[in-house]
Amino acid sequence: MEYSILGDDLQTVEILLTPGEAMLAEAGAMVMMDLGIHMKAILGDASQQSMLGKIFSAGKRLLVGESLFMTLFENRGSIPQRVYFGAPYPGKVIPIRLSKLGGALICQKDAFLCATPDTQINIVFRKRIRVGLFGGEGFILERLEGQGLAFIHASGTIIHRQLDSGESVEVDTGCVVAFSPGVDYDVHFVRGIRNMLFGGEGVFLARLRGPGHIWVQSLPFSRLAGRIVRYSGGGKGEGSILGKVWDLVDGDS
């Protein structure tokens, strides 16, 4: 399947579907398509065949903040056709070949954009309580499973690292976009009371330990939205002692 990432900070993915090929996308992600492409709304993801399976799949999607329905785009014509998908907010589109990651990818909620129809969208519960409480995305993450091509999106500049076995990095909890299943994910307190209170990074950091691949965003959309709210006069006690205390705990992430 051929594709192109268009744009810089407001990216769109252009996918060329040969006759019979299809692409599964988040509801509302389509920007433009050729006339030969047939669009069909489906419950859950396309990997489920039974009604019970579709309902269960749709229920899991609700838990990660996605819509009940997805849209299947299929080329029913006799020549290659193009379809374009765009993210719901400014950022980057990241292509992932799941077969190269052992058939799975764990990512933040709302990161999924589109994928080949064989892709299953499941959920992952964080087993460690502190990770769920302070990990930036709550107790539930998305898990994409399959052997095909998937596209996720995130805001800011995207940093891709491949960690060796035992290699670790510390990341702002709101900046973790995705990682392969072999990566161990945990959160811990920032070292040092002075750093915790005055370092501006919040109280917690995420620790990712290899082996595996990780994707990190430089500007979480929640942080950008928070700044917009703050400078529009709707911040959490802007200019007050309460507002400063909140910033120390929240880490502006």
Could you read off the pLDDT of 178-223 as tens digits, one per residue? 999 999 988 776 654 544 444 445 557 888 999 999 999 998 877 7
For the record, the structure tokens of 100 come out as 């190269």
Domains, the chain, ranges and CATH? 2-156 (3.60.160.10)
CA 43 vs CA 16, 46, 82: distances in Å: 24, 8, 24
Backbone angles phi, psi at 46, to 5 degrees: -75, -10
CA 32 to chain centre: 22
Q: What is the per-residue pLDDT for 202? A: 53
pLDDT of the chain along its 253 residues, tens only? 899 999 988 899 999 999 999 999 988 899 999 999 999 998 766 665 566 655 655 566 666 556 678 899 999 999 999 999 998 888 899 999 999 999 999 998 889 999 999 998 887 765 554 444 444 444 578 899 999 999 999 998 999 999 999 999 999 888 999 999 999 988 776 654 544 444 445 557 888 999 999 999 998 877 777 777 777 765 544 444 445 444 544 444 4
Distance in angstroms between the alpha carbons of the first and the last residue of the chain: 36
Give pTM, 2 decimals: 0.78
Residue 6: closest CA among 98, 74, 95: 95
The answer to whether the beta carbons of residues 34 and 41 sit under 8 Å apart is: no
